[in-house]
Amino acid sequence: MANALLQLESMQSKLDALERAKTEPIAIIGIGCRFPGGIDNPEAFWRILHDGVDTITEVPKNRWDIDSYYDPDPDTTGKIYTRDGGFLTEVDTFDSQFFKILPREATSLDPQQRLLLEVSWEALEYAHQVSEQLYNSLTGVFVGISTNDYAKRLLGTEAPDAYFGTGNAFSAAAGRLSYVLGLTGPSMAVDTACSSSLVAVHLACQSLRQQECHLALAGGVNLLLSPEASITFSQGRMLAPDGRCKTFDAAANGYVRGEGCGIIVLKRLSDAIASQDQILAVIRGSAINQDGPSGGLTVPNGPSQQAVIRQALKNGGVDPVQVSYIEAHGTGTSLGDPIEVGAIGAVFGASHSQEHPLIIGSLKTNIGHLEAAAGIAGLLKVVLQLQHQEIAPHLHLREPNPYINWDELPLNVPTQPTPWSAGSEKLFAGVSSFGFSGTNAHVVLEEAPSQFKSRSRSVGFAESPLAPLNNGGNSKVKSEDFSERPFHLLTLSAKSREALTELATRYQKHLETHQELALGDICFSANTGRTHFKHRLAVVASSSVELKEKLAAFSISKEVAGLYQKELQSTTTKPKVAFLFTGQGSQYVNMGRELYEQEPIFRKTLEQCDTILRLYQQKPLLSVLYPEPGETSPIDETAYTQPALFAIEYALAQLWKSWGIEPDVVMGHSVGEYVAACVAGVFSLEDGLKLIAERARLMNSLPQDGAMVSVIASVEQVRANIGASPSPNHVAIAAINAPESTVISGLEAGVQAVADQLQIEGVKTKPLKVSHGFHSPLMEPMIEEFKTVARQVSYSEPKIKMISNVTGEVATVEVATAEYWCRHIFFPVNFVAGMETLHQSGYEVFLECGPKPILLGLGRQCISKKTCIWLPSLRPRQEDWQQILQSLGELYVRGLQIDWKGFEGNYPRSKVTLPTYPFQRKRFWIEVAENYAKHEPVKEIEDSYSSFKERYAITGHLTVDNIQRCLTDLMAKELGIDTDTIDSKIDFDRYGIDSVLAVGIAQTIGSVMGVKISPLDLMQNSNLEQLSKFIANQASSQEREVLEI
């Protein structure tokens, strides 16, 4: 019985979860828009709303000649009785290169589709959604679109090309967006006339709740590119002669048409909260219905409007009394306004009063009726009002419509900006959109949860310190001492240098106008919430002011420290990275202290090392590294030096790896090779620290009768001097650091004798501050005891390629033996050979994991190649964060993939709104009056075999060279690009040649060259070089066939 009850409870729990999923609220996490009045982002939209701006203007010349079509008499056939509308700027331009669309295709592409691509990208950036992470994801696309004016322009040309169909089909408006971004969720275009975009939002919400997609783009677009629809609406007396929507006013006499595009990014609320997304507002419920048997196809139906509002409230679990604002459909018609207000009154009249009225308004008074995009525009208005907790003024209301019973309806229309608050309660609002074919939609919105709202914070970090780690009491730094990084790294990228410069300028202006934003939040949002393209910029700064100054310097191509810029050849291939681990002599007190205090990964790793080393050392590691004021540190005593360096270098390696920088190869110098081996997986951290601690202890116990001297000479010259010295058996080569840099070691008297002789020969020498003669026969007395320790360790073959100090070559299984580490003690460090091995293997990025960039200087002496990059982790007398972020910035601009979430994972960051991508637009437009030949560039190549031979000076058989020259011209003209941008070795698909173009190109080749090829031949011979050879062979074969006949 008990089991049966448990099963029933489990089943009921699952049923409840399914039921909740059906009505789960949907979070709006990103928005993008283009509206009349030059509105190209949400901030600009809010300024227009808050200031009560009327954005209506006269019809631009690039749409149609209003003088030719205007006639104030509505009975005049074929004319328009209004001169005005709400129009966008630059609808004839588009960044085709950004979206990898050929110029020829872009010309045939409906500007509505172009607009959707750009605005959707901006909305995704606003939502901090990165395109690589969306690729092949269950992301849905729901687009409201109802007009195809551009197709009418194209039909005015002689013959629309192959791209006419896909460029102007409604289905392709959504499908292209999914295709370009690689989205695999539901994708559909919706046409319910004026309610299209709000219906699209409803469908997107349903799809999310049904788990058909995990993210959704929803919205609509509308452009007015030809006069036919305006003529039709004039004949139906639908338009306002003065070009203004006078919604709810006694003078309401029609609407004014408008253009625009609005897109929102949607997620299930639970997912948005889990992802800590910036939530702008929440969709609680939505509904759609149809007017059915009303007074006429285009006549509004009051009862149906009431029903759709009630259903949306019910679906969202919202009571009418909770709603304090309605964004009305509000077209400003004498028939529609009274019907809609009556429906609103019927739903909300009983729950509101004259003292606490429901506020209503209509965006159409600002920007006109955007038809298919009207619903999403109204929704975006409400989202911004919720964000700002202010209701924007409703325009053109001078005398309330007498057909609306204002005295009895508890409604208010604001004509001034009105504060909007529900006290301790949540704000709720509704948005209505009604199609003239009878489809109605209503969406109920709720303000975002307070902790997830789009927000700005004061500059600084004091309000949220890092949580202390559970380190067993080892910490030398108290948790309250944790603070924000003193330096930050901002990364920007674009697809061209021009776009990158413009983006930097946008950020510079954004910093000026948003001084309240925390620098850490700005960098976090930019680094994690943007796609990283091949033109890259990295900036290290300690304040927003410094960041702004450096961005300004970049904009004028001024070089400053902490500013890195580079163009990558590819964003898919990354350079190979070598980790170099420094040897003894690089240590100093407080090395890495800033990282220890402010970077949890680094701190945790050091404390782990501290715990392990307490088994082998009397003085704790952290006291050695970071002594209290007044204390002295034994860091220069060998017994403590070597374990301290191991710990610091290992912690640096772990830190780099946590940021996504994984080594392709590791190499250490003397002590550093122990860290390299540990990172490569030869032995564990515990065993590595045991080895180095015992090595250091045993070395420290040896007589301090040795010395080491650095010599600026080749190993051959030094070896000859040792052989000629009085005590050749007492001096050894300790390290071969560079072609002209050698270190000798041994008994002090012998070492000094060799050094003196070298100085007589004019060779520079420098004694090293060491306690012993390392890497010399003086170390032999400790070998047996060390071997006993080394044989207790578990070894494995390197899991990462490792370069051996002993051989200077790629380490073999030999490094996984105790004997190797015994030989390592007195064999010379063959660093120069190791660097040569790395050079021959193609390594060009060298990252030193150590407290001083000693190995980088030696490496430069070994490899003179200018393309190499040498990056320190730390540097004495430079702040830790400044140095390590400078190196991280260099790695970024050179194509390394940074794990930005790992980089920021231990800091309480907020996603903040930042500038979006600056599209580099060019004009793509069909002028109806122009001859279509302009849009058929292949005609410029004569279509006869004889003229082809004459044009390319062919006197005999076709050759690969003259075929390739012809194909280059033909392809450039077919694609609408310059010939000098075509590389004969790059595959056709990189240029956007698809099956449609392949058919046309194959036919043209056959006509021009007299050689029969199929589209399949074009795809199988996938670049110009291959195709030219193929055509030459085909031509030769065809000539032989003719001769045989």
What is the predicted pLDDT for the residue at 223? 98
Q: What is the distance between the alpha carbons of residues 1042 and 1045, in angstroms, rounded to a whole number?
A: 5
Please identify which residue in the block is written with the tokens 């704000």.
427
Phi, psi dihedrals of residue 632, rounded to the nearest 5°: -105, 150
Domains along the chain with CATH numbers: 21-448 (3.40.47.10), 577-704+771-876+884-896 (3.40.366.10), 705-770 (3.30.70.250), 945-1043 (1.10.1200.10)
Chunked in runs of 10, what are the mean pLDDT values of the chain (1045 residues)? 73 66 92 98 98 97 93 92 96 95 90 98 98 95 95 73 82 95 97 97 98 98 95 92 96 97 98 95 98 77 95 97 97 93 96 95 98 98 98 97 93 96 90 95 96 48 33 42 83 97 97 95 96 97 97 94 93 90 95 96 97 96 96 95 98 98 98 98 98 97 94 95 90 96 95 95 93 93 96 97 97 96 96 97 96 96 91 96 98 96 90 96 79 37 49 61 80 75 77 70 74 77 83 68 39
Q: The tokens 């004061």 sit on which residue? A: 458
What pLDDT is attached to residue 534? 95
Indicate the SS3 state at residue 255.
strand
- Helices 818-826, 783-790: axis angle to 10 degrees equals 150
329 a catalytic residue: yes
State residue 478's pLDDT score: 41
Q: H or E stretch including 969?
A: helix 960-975
pLDDT at 501: 97
Q: Are 737 and 743 in contact (CB under 8 A)?
A: yes
Helices and strands (H, E) in the chain, number of each type: 38, 29
Return the pLDDT at 318.
97
Which one is catalytic: 33, 128, 194, 394?
194
Residue 479 confidence (pLDDT): 41
What pLDDT, on a 0 to 100 scale, did the predictor assign at position 7?
74
CA dihedral over 127, 133, 136, 137, signed as positive or negative: negative
Q: What is the pLDDT of residue 470?
A: 34
Nearest-10 crossing angle of helices 685-700, 638-658: 160
Beta carbons within 8 Å of 319's beta carbon, 6+ residues apart? 313, 351
User: Residue 25: which residues within 8 A CB-CB, separation 6 or more?
Assistant: 268, 269, 282, 283, 284, 316, 446
CA separation for the pair 971, 954 (Å, rounded): 20
Q: What is residue 937's predicted lDDT score, i.e. its pLDDT?
A: 36
Distance separating alpha carbons of residues 263 and 221, to the nearest angstrom:
9
CA dihedral 63, 66, 69, 72 (to 10 degrees): 140
**194 catalytically annotated:** yes
Catalytic residue among 369, 488, 510, 935: 369
Nearest alpha carbon to residue 753 among 723, 777, 782: 723
Q: Which helix (H) or strand (E) holds 43?
A: helix 42-51
Q: What is the pLDDT, as a whole number, of residue 360? A: 98
**According to the model, what pLDDT value does residue 1042 have?**
37
Active site residue 202: no
Amino acid identity of 530?
A: R
Amino acid at 525: S
Q: How far apart are CA 722 and CA 753, in angstroms?
A: 9
List the catalytic residue out of 128, 329, 532, 824. 329
